A and B are shown apart, each in its own frame.
Chain A
């Protein structure tokens, strides 16, 4: 887990504010995946990115959510105009290029919308 860095660990936002979640992948990993975990549920795929490219965003809500992975810097998951239902743990995972035989996850960002 130590290799994938997510921040902040905890984030509290009021309804209508923006939330920005950051993820730095493990050294040598160029693929990033974002998953969301609702209380008492499993993880749900949101988006898969490579440097400067969104490969698959099929699991991400069409409105208010966006993700990027710039050439330099961490991957960012952005949630605009947050609502109470966005409260969840958001996990980032990374992998090297090629076949994925399991993820290395970060410790997650726990978003609470009040």
Chain B
């Protein structure tokens, strides 16, 4: 059974701080996504990474796919209260079916 483990589960930081969250697995994936989910809403796709070692940037967010395509990280620079939410990674081995991690719940305090 493929599993995606996310860490930390909870993170509370002050506005302006940097942070990194992780998504790890023992399985190799062909594609990995990061989503952000706010209370009462569905997940919103932030990025898709497909190549080992790939780095993508989205404003203050930097996403990296591990060289072996088993793990990924999300780094946020100078966090803002608007970054608060549940961050989910999701991955597939090449089909339409994605498995999701249990998420990192981030709270950024003003």
Contacts and interface: CB of A to CB of B under 8 A. Distances in A.
Interface of A: 1, 4, 6, 31, 33, 35, 40-45, 48, 55-56, 91, 93, 95, 100-108, 110
B47 to A, nearest CB: 8
A108 B41 contact: yes
A62 B34 CA distance: 30
A48 B31 contact: no
B88 A42 contact: yes
Given A43-B88, A101-B31, A91 B43 contact: yes
Interface stretch (B52-60, B72-80, B94-102): B94-102
B100 A43 contact: yes
Interface residues of B, number: 23
Contacts, number: 59
A102 B42 contact: no
Interface of B: 4, 31, 33, 35, 40-45, 48, 50, 88, 90, 92, 96-103
A42 B87 CA distance: 10
Contacts of A4: 42
B62 to A, nearest CB: 18
Given A45-B98, A45-B99, A104 B45 contact: yes
Nearest to A106: B42
Contact of B42 (A1, A31, A44): A1
